[in-house]
Amino acid sequence: MSPTNSITIKNKRFVPYINTNEINDIIIKTASDISNYYKNIINADNPLIIVGVLNGAFMFLSDLVKHLDFPCEIHFIKVSSYIGTETSGTITNIIGLNTDIHNKHVLIIEDIIDTGITINNLIENLSSYLPTKINICTLFFKEENYNGKNIDIRFIGKKILNKFIVGYGLDYDNFGRNLNSIYILDS
């Protein structure tokens, strides 16, 4: 990519990686997959409990749910495992779930699944509330870096390289979330 397409965040250079049109296509396809999966499960008496993982998933969740054609409740949980561009290896629960998920279908919405530390912790935590089923949806998946405990990631928007990305909700030290495209760290 040419330098004119690059951006700089806190002295790190990022270059274009995934454009807005591709993100929109991923969202529409993922929403269709989710709707097809839940079409005979979810109804007005049994809405899907959608749990968005803050802060990164807010843009993806917002755009995704606009394309779902069934009743759902939307809630958020906030966890963190990154310091700068590296995972810290530990989870900090900052905001917890404030709804009863016992005997409910739950769909966790993530911006990105990297090592699997965050999603493993969330599954373990939410399973203690005895939901009927927990499924996972992620916009991006770093398959080569994933060390999940045999957790089924049912809905994957796009598998990506094991590189650090920003934009469309993803950040570098809280900067870059507002970008409407995805940028990759220039190595």
pLDDT tens digits for range 68-80: 999 999 999 887 6
Strand 165-166 relative to strand 182-185, pairing:
antiparallel
Structural domains of the chain in order of their starting residue, each with its CATH number: 20-162 (3.40.50.2020)
Question: Can you give the pLDDT at residue 158?
Answer: 97
Q: Where are the alpha helices (DSSP H) in 7-144?
A: 20-38, 58-65, 117-127
145 DSSP 8-state letter: G
Give me the DSSP letters along 116-165. Answer: SHHHHHHHHHHHTT--SEEEEEEEEE-GGG---SS----EEEEE--SS-E
pLDDT value for 73: 95
| pLDDT value of position 93 | 56
Residue at token pair 């404030």: 98
Reported confidence tier of residue 2, pLDDT bands at 50, 70, 90 = very low
Q: What is the pLDDT of residues 45-104, one digit of tens each?
A: 999 999 999 889 999 999 999 999 999 999 998 876 555 555 555 555 556 788 999 999
Confidence label for 117 from pLDDT (cuts 50, 70 and 90): confident
DSSP label at 11? Answer: T
Question: What 3-state class would DSSP assign to 36?
Answer: helix
pLDDT in tens, 29-46: 999 999 999 999 998 899
In the residue annotation, 114 being an active-site residue is answered as: yes
* Residues 109, 61 contacting (CB under 8 angstroms): yes
What's the rounded Cα separation, in Å, for the pair 116 and 121?
8
Count of residues in the chain: 187
Catalytic-labelled residue, pool 33, 63, 100, 114: 114
Decide: helix, strand or coil at residue 7: strand
Q: Tell me what the pLDDT averaged over the chain comes to.
A: 89
Instruction: Say what the pLDDT of residue 3 is.
Output: 44
